[in-house]
């Protein structure tokens, strides 16, 4: 298995990775009639995105996608571009309607890297929880100090391979609160 490319979030001009999502859905290619296909082993879901939190609004800025039929519609007035095997949209500035909680992280601790699925919040030094209402940022918590660093990786020693796989690909799996 391969670690997956996470969605990127730009917050206060820093780049973070999405490690947890609860509530509504973020924007996907399916919202525009596309049917994504695997890009490569690090992108089984067939797309990845970059979001930016600007003026307390959650905006989709970029999306890289592989579409089964090769049909790529315009998104928010932006035509797709192609480079090698991938098609991408940039400068979308598309306001999301996301309501829920996301956790974003930066500064991966190399020894806590899991070579499968999405990295969990407990593998990072910096962990933030952001709460949104219809795309507007309404609350930010810094969870870095209460982060149970290494909890997910440690849990892999005492659970079944199937649970490890399922949990590593599940962005709703809360490794901060659940006893693994």
Encode pLDDT of 94-111 as tens digits.
999 999 999 999 988 787
Encode pLDDT of 65-90 as tens digits.
998 888 899 999 999 999 877 799 99
pLDDT for 151 equals: 57
Instruction: Write the CA distances from 5 to 8, 45, 145, integer angstroms.
Output: 9, 10, 26
CA distance 78 to 74: 5
Residue 3, CB-side half-sphere exposure with 13 Å CA sphere: 14
Q: Which of these ranges, 5-9, 51-55, 142-146, 159-163, has the smallest mean pLDDT? A: 159-163
Encode pLDDT of 14-66 as tens digits.
999 999 999 989 999 999 999 999 888 888 889 999 999 999 999 999 999 99
Q: Which residues contact 59 (CB under 8 A, 6 or more apart)?
A: 51, 52, 53, 92, 93, 94, 95, 96
Question: Residue 39 has which token pair?
Answer: 């890009």
Residue 68, CB-side half-sphere exposure with 13 Å CA sphere: 7
Query: With 70 as the cut, is the pLDDT of residue 149 above it?
Result: no
Look-up: residue for tokens 């219809």?
134
pTM of this structure: 0.86
pLDDT for 4 equals: 85
Q: Are 39 and 68 in contact (CB under 8 A)?
A: no
């Amino acid at each position: 298995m391969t670690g997956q490319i996470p969605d990127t979030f730009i917050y206060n001009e820093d780049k973070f990775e999405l490690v947890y999502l609860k509530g509504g859905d973020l924007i996907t290619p399916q919202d525009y009639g596309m049917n994504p296909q695997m890009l490569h082993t690090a992108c089984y879901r067939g797309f990845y995105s970059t979001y930016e939190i600007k003026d307390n609004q959650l905006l989709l800025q970029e999306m890289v996608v592989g579409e089964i039929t090769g049909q790529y519609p315009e998104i928010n007035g932006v035509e797709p571009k192609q480079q090698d095997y991938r098609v991408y949209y940039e400068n979308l500035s598309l306001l999301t309607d996301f309501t829920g909680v996301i956790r974003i992280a930066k500064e991966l601790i190399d020894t806590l890297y899991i070579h499968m699925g999405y990295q969990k919040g407990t593998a990072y030094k910096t962990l933030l929880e952001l709460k949104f209402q219809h795309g507007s940022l309404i609350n930010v918590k810094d969870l870095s100090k209460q982060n149970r660093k290494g909890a997910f990786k440690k849990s892999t020693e005492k659970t079944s391979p199937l649970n490890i796989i399922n949990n590593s690909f599940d962005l709703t799996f809360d490794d901060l609160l659940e006893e693994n």
